[in-house]
Amino acid sequence: MATDDLAPLLAQVEALLRRHDCHDEAGQARFAQELWSRDPLAGRAELNGDAWWHGRHGIAAVDLAIVGGFTRAAREDAQRLRELLIVVRDHLDAHGLDNEEAALQVRQFRKWAASHM
């Protein structure tokens, strides 16, 4: 499900990351949120970039369950982060912003959601 206003969603991403001391990634989420509020087109480009989807340092690679020590709260936060990233990706896809790495990540997130991981 795509959404038109990503600001509240990006604030949630930032909060989840900060809760688990992922400050660099939280800063990226904050930057994207501020950019989005000034210029949604530039915000979309940022959200489609490497800092979000590529490699082990991308936001999509953060596993809050691991970072949080596999507590119930950390596992729930990990699931919520993946849900939010799916919404971001759906929004970007709806606006024609392809990203092969992101598509792979989101397919995995959807598989995990289906299996309740």
Mean pLDDT of 29-45: 96
Please report which confidence band the pLDDT of residue 34 belongs to, taking 50, 70 and 90 as the band edges. very high
One DSSP character per residue, 10-27 reads HHHHHHHHHHTT-HHHHH
Provide the mean pLDDT of the chain: 93
Three-state secondary-structure class, residue 49? coil
77 in Cβ contact with 21 (< 8 Å): no
Q: What's residue 55's pLDDT?
A: 84
Say whether pTM exceeds 0.85.
yes
Inform me whether the pLDDT recorded for 11 exceeds 80: yes
Q: What's residue 1's pLDDT?
A: 47
CA gap 116, 46 in Å, rounded: 30
